[in-house]
Structure 1
């Protein structure tokens, strides 16, 4: 197992190298003046764009530009963000907690709801419950994330006035901004920081503002997980060992809970990478629609303003998340199926 993990880690380095070349190559199609922003570290330095172009060889061949960029990234210089008006490295830790908070709350619900619905739908195949969940999954999978988010916002905020967009209410947001000594941002996530500061009202308010974003995120991702789990359960329930167990009079719940469900979970692991991709993709639409200033919102704003340093850095981060998640999936799959380690 150790040798397999080492091989995968070695492969990970080359994948990240390829991703960085691809991203840098795509963004290098922009003018040298635009790309020079990736090397700016202060507003004063932004006034000397021609000097930056000359210093970092932005008018030189591709391999020279790429080498200079890698050197700067290794030093921690990710450039200056026009949208955030600060270095990208600093802005990252401002926006990342908001996205992390959303996904930390949505992911457990996705796993629990998706696996349960898929299991019940597969066990009770062709029942009313099965048909209902399949229709819901098709709708959830087909409906664009931003459209579903807009529908929820119009119904629950526009008509019912129950859940408002944003991260906190205006009153609490102003209080937090004006009292930095009384409210310490330990994690950058209000649901946790409210508890750590003894402000339960802030935690509850933050959770209230997360209801619609979490529902949107969960519905979209659950659709895929449920379909995979359902297919796995149907396949397992028709196998010989399950039929034999039924013939011997084994309890039905024991059959599908202890035997069929366990084996049906294996295919779910293989689509976990797609679930991560859906979550990251969904975060952009969710944060823009619900006015949550996280990584997705930051990326969308940066794209409209061609904020090159942010586009390069966020794309590399997303690539790192995908590659790392796939590495974890490969290791989990190798643990479940030892035959994988031999390849």
Structure 2
């Protein structure tokens, strides 16, 4: 396993190098003035546009431009995002914990419900429960997230008033967050509020998270249920399950220890994709609910042609993909002891 981890760690800089070449290469489609706009932070700098173009090498050949870009990136300068009115790296530092918080509250129910309901659906094949769950998966699989999000807002916020509207926290509680005595330990607001003993703020944040989490849960769990059902049905019809039944093992033992355990391997892969998707920013969901994560930011940046923001998000996504893919492969060995990394 150590050799496998080392190989994957060596791959990370190679992948990032190739990706950075592609990113900087795409910049060649823009004019030097368009590229320099990402580093303009004031009217004074706008008046010195030519100087910025020369300093950044936007009028130089591609190798020179790549050298300037790589040097700036290694020094933490990914440009200035006009969408957030602050440097790209600072924006990612501020917004990524919010996206991680949303992903954390969403991923655990997705996996638990997906495995549980998928197993129930397979064990009750063609019965009423199976038919009901299949309808749910079809609806969830085909329903766009922005449509479901709007419906939830209309019902729970507009009509019933049970849940708060878009945002992360009510206005009154924003003053408590800005108080110097409120310490940001993790960057995730609900957890930090609990650690600070501000339970009213934590409850407010959790109530704001209900509808975004529910939106992502319905959409993503449908895929998880569908895959788990298919894998469970395949496992139940396999020879080793029939052999286990012939030995007199109980149905509960056969289903949990033999069939479901072997059906979980594709779920590990799917969970990795879910993590990548959630950490990459659920753009539509965060935008609809005005949730201050990286998804909302990059969605607005794309509309504003905020090139540095989009490129910074591309690098962030690449890092997430490489890291999560490595962890997913390692987790294979936990689920299936037959997997070896030698």
- Per-residue CA distance 1:211-245 (angstroms, 9 max, x = gap): 00011111111112111111111111111121122
- The residue aligned with 1:187 is 186
The 10-residue stretch of structure 1 (93-102 or 34-43) with the greater mean CA deviation from structure 2: 34-43
Alpha-carbon distance change, 340 to 142 in structure 1, aligned in 2, over 3 angstroms: farther
- The residue aligned with 1:119 is 119
Q: Do structure 1's residue 213 and structure 2's residue 196 form an aligned pair?
A: no
- Per-residue CA distance 1:92-131 (angstroms, 9 max, x = gap): 2221121111011111111111111111112221121111
- The residue aligned with 1:223 is 222
The two structures have a TM-score, normalised by structure 1, of 0.92
Q: 2:140, 2:73 → 1: CA distance?
A: 39
Q: 2:180, 2:276 → 1: CA distance?
A: 38
Shift of 1:292: 0.9
Q: 2:281, 2:6 → 1: CA distance?
A: 32
- The residue aligned with 2:315 is 316
- The residue aligned with 2:25 is 25
Shift of 1:140: 0.9
Q: 1:66, 1:38 → 2: CA distance?
A: 16
Shift of 1:197: 1.8
Shift of 1:41: 7.4
Q: Please, what is the CA RMSD of the aligned residues?
A: 2.1
Alpha-carbon distance change, 270 to 263 in structure 1, aligned in 2, over 3 angstroms: same
Contact 2:190 / 2:201 at 8 angstroms: preserved in 1?
Answer: yes
The 10-residue stretch of structure 1 (274-283 or 115-124) with the greater mean CA deviation from structure 2: 274-283
- The residue aligned with 1:96 is 96
The two structures have a TM-score, normalised by structure 2, of 0.92
Q: 1:286, 1:149 → 2: CA distance?
A: 7
Q: How many aligned positions are there?
A: 340
Q: 2:39, 2:333 → 1: CA distance?
A: 42
Three-state SS of the structure 2 residue aligned to 1:215 is helix
Q: Do structure 1's residue 167 and structure 2's residue 161 form an aligned pair?
A: no
Contact 2:281 / 2:293 at 8 angstroms: preserved in 1?
Answer: no
- Per-residue CA distance 1:134-155 (angstroms, 9 max, x = gap): 2211211111111111111111
Three-state SS of the structure 1 residue aligned to 2:158 is helix
- The residue aligned with 1:261 is 260
Contact 1:42 / 1:80 at 8 angstroms: preserved in 2?
Answer: no
- Per-residue CA distance 1:242-285 (angstroms, 9 max, x = gap): 11222232110111111111111112122233223442566111
Alpha-carbon distance change, 278 to 78 in structure 1, aligned in 2, over 3 angstroms: closer
Residues 1-343 of structure 1 mapped to structure 2, 5 A cutoff: 1-39=1-39, 45=45, 47-163=47-163, 164-173=165-174, 175-176=175-176, 179-280=178-279, 283-333=282-332, 336=336, 341=341
Q: 1:250, 1:230 → 2: CA distance?
A: 22
Contact 2:107 / 2:275 at 8 angstroms: preserved in 1?
Answer: no
Contact 1:299 / 1:310 at 8 angstroms: preserved in 2?
Answer: yes
- Per-residue CA distance 1:292-316 (angstroms, 9 max, x = gap): 1111111111111111211111111
Contact 2:235 / 2:263 at 8 angstroms: preserved in 1?
Answer: yes
Shift of 1:61: 2.2
Alpha-carbon distance change, 92 to 280 in structure 1, aligned in 2, over 3 angstroms: closer
Alpha-carbon distance change, 166 to 27 in structure 1, aligned in 2, over 3 angstroms: same
Which consecutive unaligned segments of at least 5 residues does structure 2 have?
A: none
Contact 1:39 / 1:77 at 8 angstroms: preserved in 2?
Answer: no
Q: 1:280, 1:189 → 2: CA distance?
A: 13
